Structure 1
């Protein structure tokens, strides 16, 4: 591992830890505060990919995955009002969603890296974030996957309600997923600004040195 990759690894670790903590705190009816920090993981991955290539980007992803597993293990030992803060299903969903989505992001970005500067980070993040959301919420809360952890009662997530309080009636977890996905998409667009500025600054510094 090159020393220049350490900032990316640290940034990913901080984002994963912060998101695991902030997911415990609600923001409105459909979100947690973790929804606003976790999407920054895609920004870190894309910056590493642009500046150093897909190999270092994957190293950062695997580092984030290891940190996430550690956070999940800690969470299973902390008892909340309704049981462990992190259940087996949530830990599995989180790990599978993170690793799949981030590695997909790396692959898509690398395939599109020669195009217009914004295409690779935007397309890879949009697709990665969509896969991440779909995998996490379906694995963690779908009634069809109850066999993954029969003793974990997630019936509350299956309550039928209007989507986001306004749309067609769907299980609660679908509204949670849609709200989470919408935040990810919004932040993917906003993240193009720091992505561009950091890449230009890095290249400027490299040219001077």
Structure 2
């Protein structure tokens, strides 16, 4: 059965690696990164594994993705980039901790919520679990990574992310708020959209895998 999980593990690892690379590329004047469009696919992989192979298989895939993310963060923390007269780590400490924590908690929550709604209509479990998991992921990541109210990482770690504390109009139009709040909201909107779109590949993949598993 472990071999059956391998495609899910590889898919999750590929998504995590791709997202860690693509997050470096900004779009829409820095409002989003290309990684915002690949990372939500992790919820699709988790939900497919959960539907076809069960919660334990989904959790194994999640832990594989978590380990992959930790490795990416360790590598990124050793890469030094050049700014305007200064240098900085590609993956600062706060972002590394936020990324790993948000991923693990949100994905495991997704697995639990999916199980809660497993017996309903086919779309209910993946949609509800992804919406809740995505919202939790966004809230945890951006708060831990950028909120000025969290000071446990120390002044050096805060300095690496204090650019996100700048007060700017919310979504470029509303009342002034810390930049990271706008970034979080934009990220969540992408996750929300992809949660709906992902129902199509979820349905197709599950219909292909479920009969194959039944005859295996």
- 2:9 is aligned to 9
- 2:22 is aligned to 22
Measure, in 1, the Cα distance between the counterparts of 2:127 and 2:141.
Answer: 21
Measure, in 1, the Cα distance between the counterparts of 2:97 and 2:162.
Answer: 18
Q: How does 1:167-186 map to 2 (within 5 A)?
A: 167-186=174-193
Q: Which moved more, 1:164-173 or 1:149-158?
A: 149-158
Q: Which moved more, 1:139-148 or 1:64-73?
A: 139-148
**Cα separation, partners in 2 of 1:206 and 1:99, compared to 1, 3 Å:** closer
Q: How does 1:34-113 map to 2 (within 5 A)?
A: 34-81=35-82, 82-113=87-118
Structure 2 unpaired stretches of 5+:
none
TM-score by length of 2: 0.93
Matched, 1:199 2:206: yes
Deviations 1:55-97 (A, max 9, x none): 0000000000000000000000000124000111111000100
Measure, in 2, the Cα distance between the counterparts of 1:207 and 1:65.
Answer: 29
Shift of 1:148: 1.3
Shift of 1:112: 0.7
Deviations 1:166-199 (A, max 9, x none): 1222100000000000000000000000000111
Measure, in 2, the Cα distance between the counterparts of 1:179 and 1:103.
Answer: 23
The answer on whether the counterparts of 1:11 and 1:44 sit within 8 Å (CA) in structure 2 is yes
Counterpart among 145, 149, 153 of residue 148 in structure 1: 153
TM-score by length of 1: 0.96
The answer on whether the counterparts of 1:158 and 1:173 sit within 8 Å (CA) in structure 2 is yes
Measure, in 1, the Cα distance between the counterparts of 2:44 and 2:7.
Answer: 13
Q: Which moved more, 1:144-153 or 1:40-49?
A: 144-153
The answer on whether the counterparts of 1:89 and 1:149 sit within 8 Å (CA) in structure 2 is no
Alignment RMSD (CA, Å):
1.3
Structure 1 unpaired stretches of 5+:
none
| Structure 1 residue ranges (4+ consecutive) displaced by more than 2 angstroms after TM superposition | 203-209
